[in-house]
Amino acid sequence: MEEFVGNGVLKGLLPKLLEEGWDDVPTLKIMNSEDMNAINMTQEQKDALEIRAYLHERSLMQYGDKFESSGKSLPELLSLSSGDLSSQFGMKRGHIARFMDRTSACADTLPKSNAPPSTKLTSRPSRNNSIYKSYDFVSQKIQSRTKSIIRSNTSEKSLEQSLADFKIKDGYTFKGIVAAEPAESRCGCIKAPPIVDKVAPYSAIENISVQKLTPEYKVGVESLVKSKAPPMKASELWREKPAVLVCIRRPGCIMCRAEAHQLYAKKPIFDALGVQLIAVLHENIDSEVKDFWPRYWGGAVIFDRGMGFFKALGGGELLKEKFLSGFIFNPRAIANYRRAKAMGIKQNFKGEGEIKGGLFIMGNGKSGIAYQFIERNFGDWAPLAEVIEICTKLQVNLVDFSPLC
């Protein structure tokens, strides 16, 4: 948050922003003109927020203070030539290209030139399954209840539009309770490793021992849990509220950071739906946690020492693949890397990076696993539209899960 606000005109406004609940970057970025007027923002402050939100989407925050001090608005900056941007602000050529690209750098899509074939489901519930029915059925009750909750937030218009943007469109093929990208052909005789096509039993994850490494980010909170947090049962995480758990292969990986960033950027939507966002790590390297949180992920971070969640994704065993076969000879993984690279995210090579991750959506209490996504190829993301739609069904209590095992 402090990095986003910078040293310009928004810095003095920070106490007021916190008082009004604008206490994290994703929420701050959805402010509309009505919200700005409500806290008496000046035109200079509005221009600064617009500039910084645009730069944040493109991982160019290092130019925030320079752009703001120029006194120019975002449209004026975008009208400058490449030469002016370079001479006046010291922008690098690649950064200029990213700045001038009007499309969002955090979109959940691959560059067209690198896009792989369309995805397919790995398993589909039967048509008698309640989850399948909830996907086929969009009632007026869902729409009215969702809108009433969103209106309770200060940014009702922005959030309603955001939910509309991520609503699964007609003709979309739901991938099923267990989802993964397709097993594409690879170079030579190399075959993609097999993955499970059944949801993990609830009994396999409810008693996993986890340790909290960071809280959810708010301005002023400690960057890491001060004292070593005691182990806790995983089921305590979603005892009262549903949760999205992102199992991170390696927090220094550019693709993992990109996935975390694009998911956490939609935090206001998940807040409106009453769903927590939690990242799960299988290694606890202090420097890596500090680099990852809250720059790329502002939700809580937990440590899964026994790798229970990662084993559950692999059907009881860790899903691993070597760098050579899983990346060098895998066109899909290379496309995923290029997608992350286009976001301008930095990376390092610390830690174990061959254990694949994924994502779980957990209903509250003991209601079970609503959705499970497996990282078949390095850098695969669970489709945002699918994740948000499942969470919407959870929020309005339309999803019944399969019997607990």
Location of structure tokens 């003095």: 12
DSSP 329-378: T-HHHHHHHHHHHTTT------S---B--EEEEE-STT--EEEEEE--ST
Residue 405 falls in the annotated catalytic set: no
Location of structure tokens 């899509």: 109
> What one-character DSSP code corresponds to residue 228?
P
Report whether 334 contacts 372 (CB < 8 A). no
Tokens of 339: 């997608």
Give the rounded distance of the alpha carbon of 399 from its chain centre: 22
Q: Which residues are CB-contacts of 339 (< 8 A; sequence separation ≥ 6)?
A: 109, 110, 111, 114, 255, 258, 379
Residue tagged active-site, from 189, 253, 391, 405: 253
Location of structure tokens 């690279």: 341
Reference 4, options 35, 26, 20; nearest CA is 26
Reference 64, options 18, 10, 104; nearest CA is 10
User: First CA to last CA across the chain, in angstroms?
Assistant: 42
Give the rounded distance of the alpha carbon of 209 from its chain centre: 24
Taking the C-alpha atoms of residue 367 and residue 375, their distance in angstroms, rounded to an integer, is 24
Strand-pair partners of 84: none
Q: Which residues are CB-contacts of 337 (< 8 A; sequence separation ≥ 6)?
A: 254, 255, 327, 378, 379
In angstroms, the Cα distances linking 363 to 51, 242, 266, 395 are: 38, 5, 19, 9
Reference 213, options 299, 271, 274; nearest CA is 299
**What b-and-e string marks burial along 386-395, b requiring 16 or more CB atoms within 10 Å of the CB?**
bbbbbbbbbb
Angle subtended at Cα 180 by Cα 176 and Cα 182, rounded to the nearest 5 degrees: 110
Query: Residue 72 CB: number of other CB atoms within 10 A?
Result: 16
Residue 391 falls in the annotated catalytic set: no
Residue tagged active-site, from 247, 256, 391, 405: 256
Taking the C-alpha atoms of residue 394 and residue 400, their distance in angstroms, rounded to an integer, is 9
Catalytic residues: 253, 256
